[in-house]
Structure 1
Amino acid sequence: MRIAVTTPTGNVGRHVVTALVRAGVRPRVLLRDPGRLAPDIRDEVDAVQVDQYEPDSVAAATAGIDALFWVDPPAEGTDPLADYARATDSVVRAVTGNGIGRVVFQSSVGAEKRHGAGEIDGLARTETALDGLGIDVTHLRCGYFFTNLEFQLDALRAGTLQVILPLDLPMAWVAPRDIAEVAAARLLSPGWSGRCVQGVHGAADLTWRQVADILTAATGRRIGVERITDDAMRAQLQGVGMSDGLVEAVLGMSTGLREDFAPEQPRTVRTTTPTTLAAWAYDTLRPQITDASS
């Protein structure tokens, strides 16, 4: 089976690549800068330089491919949903032009709403487009990435996280490595066909209060959490240089899911993955916090 992987240096993609290599597959990896690949993986893959926003380039890079792991690249302009639409055009062109019959798409919890969830609406658009192609496609509806906490290292060192979600609202938290294992298994498995939706919910649903307690225990420093207003968060995001469009898209991922929302896939053995936040925080987050203060 000839498999292509997008975002092969990302939080999920790099683990998809190594899982496939361990399975005996030599994947084709698509990225803007092949030099960013880890030195030990470069001889195990076929790297193709490509911009995922350019449909013709993506189609050329995926010629001869049987299965594709697709991740919409991070929005880079002032209109995130327009960027997602461009990425969707690219994957549709690649699939239809090359007869790719199998796609695993990294989506998100909340994409089932289709509208009203900020940046997640862009993922919903990609889902809908892939559904219309009549191929075998699995949408991975992933929970909140543990690695998102790495964007808040300064706040963690200061001891307080600020969020706009209710502090006692449970939600799925997941390790990117676990998402990759599910993705690789789906790419390699012949046991499914048609349109599938696979929740990837991590080891447990957690509230922000529980997260703060887990991080406190894992890092050895007191970490609290407080809820702030939407406008206060909006001002923070604008303060770091985000455009108004990007600010609203980021906020929408929280505001669109905080009331009257439940994931389409309930937590079951199929959606639960093994890595706990406590284990990840001890191994990955603790060194980043303690090393900076030592």
Structure 2
Amino acid sequence: MMVLTTPTGQIGRQVLDIVLDSAEAIRLIARDPSRLSPRVRERVEVVQGSHDDIDVVTKAFEGADSVFWVVPPNPRAKSVQDHVLNFIRPVCEAINSQGVKRVVGISSLGRGIAKNAGQISAIFAMDDLIESTGVSYRSLCMPGFMENMLWQVESIKRQGMLFYPMPGDRKVPHCATRDIATVAAKLLLDHSWSGQESISVCGPEDLSFNDMAQIISEVIERPIRFQQVPGETYKATMVQHGMTEAWAQGLIDMAASVDRGIYDAETRTPHSAAPTGFRQWCEEVLKPAVLA
């Protein structure tokens, strides 16, 4: 039995798509089961509720061998750290009480290096707490998701611009969520591994925001340029759109930490270099979103 959290989320739904055709028994934790397709509801068992609820998690983990664990973002959280810990405490308790054997979690590059890195630092605290249970754990460590660019679809459409509080020439890795899901699903379907390990999942190239703006321009066939914005300006814009100050400050701290080089310590290898390049992702995902 495997348990999946966030089955309608960006990564979780793609993991579910991959494992659905396997012979594995699958149980989902879902706040709103009506968002699941009829095909999914016919195939899986669903525990309704949130995975920050100890009763929900304990029920879902009963008899489970493997768990796919994601802490969902909450831009309205009053504290980034408290938000993450509110999800981690139940999972750690249920891992021990229900005898879960393996957990695959979504983390970040930069563990052991990042300091005061907003949401990234909170996720590293998650890794530490899950590992403290002694469960066999694979922490999937990624840079920024290519899908984060979808937040800027409106500015691409209306202004021909990308905005972010980092220098335009700072090259960093990026990855597509489909590649993360592929790695996660493979681990969930493999019953042979044990112990605790971090696994890096990077895209095939390092790109700056200037590079990405150029690629987007070529793909959608209209000029797009990148504009760095001061951190406080970016934060004020996020708060204006409904984000809490704490969550917005976490994003600023995260961007500053990436700019300081927390992703640079990870050398790309054939095993960590996921296949989806940014141009391919733009053709298949971003372009349809911009033209919609």
CA distance in 2, matches of 1:130, 1:36: 29
Q: Deviations over 1:246-288 (max 9, x none)?
A: 1111211101221143455321011111111111211221122
Aligned counterpart, 2:36: 37
Aligned counterpart, 2:81: 81
User: Is residue 20–residue 26 contact of structure 1 (8 Å, CA) maintained in 2?
Assistant: no
CA distance in 1, matches of 2:66, 2:266: 24
Pair 1:242 & 2:238 matched = no
The structure-2 alpha-carbon separation of the partners of 1:214 and 1:290, relative to structure 1 and needing over 3 Å to count, comes to: same
Q: Deviations over 1:208-241 (max 9, x none)?
A: 1111111111112211101121122122112212
Whichever residue aligns with residue 7 of structure 1, its letter is T
> Could you tell which deviates more after superposition, 19-28 or 132-141?
19-28
Aligned counterpart, 2:13: 14
Aligned counterpart, 2:66: 67
User: Is residue 80–residue 118 contact of structure 2 (8 Å, CA) maintained in 1?
Assistant: no
Aligned counterpart, 1:206: 207
Pair 1:119 & 2:119 matched = yes
Whichever residue aligns with residue 103 of structure 2, its letter is V
Whichever residue aligns with residue 174 of structure 2, its letter is W
| Contiguous gaps of at least 5 residues in structure 2 | none
SS of equivalent residue, structure 2 residue 198 = strand
Whichever residue aligns with residue 16 of structure 1, its letter is V
User: Is residue 4–residue 29 contact of structure 1 (8 Å, CA) maintained in 2?
Assistant: yes
CA distance in 2, matches of 1:64, 1:144: 34
Pair 1:155 & 2:159 matched = no
| Contiguous gaps of at least 5 residues in structure 1 | none
Give the alignment of 1:224-263 within 5 angstroms: 224-263=225-264
Aligned counterpart, 2:103: 103
Whichever residue aligns with residue 139 of structure 2, its letter is H
> Could you tell which deviates more after superposition, 56-65 or 123-132?
56-65
Whichever residue aligns with residue 26 of structure 2, its letter is P
User: Is residue 172–residue 264 contact of structure 2 (8 Å, CA) maintained in 1?
Assistant: no
Aligned counterpart, 2:222: 221
CA distance in 2, matches of 1:52, 1:254: 28
User: Is residue 115–residue 121 contact of structure 1 (8 Å, CA) maintained in 2?
Assistant: yes
Offset of residue 143 of structure 1 = 1.9
Relative contact order higher in (CA < 8 Å, ≥ 6 apart) = 2
CA distance in 2, matches of 1:113, 1:170: 18
User: Is residue 109–residue 263 contact of structure 2 (8 Å, CA) maintained in 1?
Assistant: no
CA distance in 2, matches of 1:195, 1:263: 23
CA distance in 2, matches of 1:171, 1:39: 40
SS of equivalent residue, structure 1 residue 113 = coil
CA distance in 2, matches of 1:201, 1:110: 12
Q: Deviations over 1:3-34 (max 9, x none)?
A: 11100111110111111122332311111111
User: Is residue 198–residue 265 contact of structure 1 (8 Å, CA) maintained in 2?
Assistant: no
SS of equivalent residue, structure 2 residue 64 = coil
TM-score by length of 2: 0.94
SS of equivalent residue, structure 2 residue 163 = strand
CA distance in 1, matches of 2:113, 2:71: 18
Whichever residue aligns with residue 43 of structure 2, its letter is E
Aligned counterpart, 2:278: 277
User: Is residue 28–residue 60 contact of structure 2 (8 Å, CA) maintained in 1?
Assistant: no
> CA RMSD for the aligned pairs?
1.5
Aligned counterpart, 2:194: 193
CA distance in 2, matches of 1:10, 1:264: 29
Q: Number of matched residues?
A: 290
Aligned counterpart, 2:171: 170
The structure-2 alpha-carbon separation of the partners of 1:263 and 1:112, relative to structure 1 and needing over 3 Å to count, comes to: farther
> Could you tell which deviates more after superposition, 118-127 or 259-268?
259-268
TM-score by length of 1: 0.94
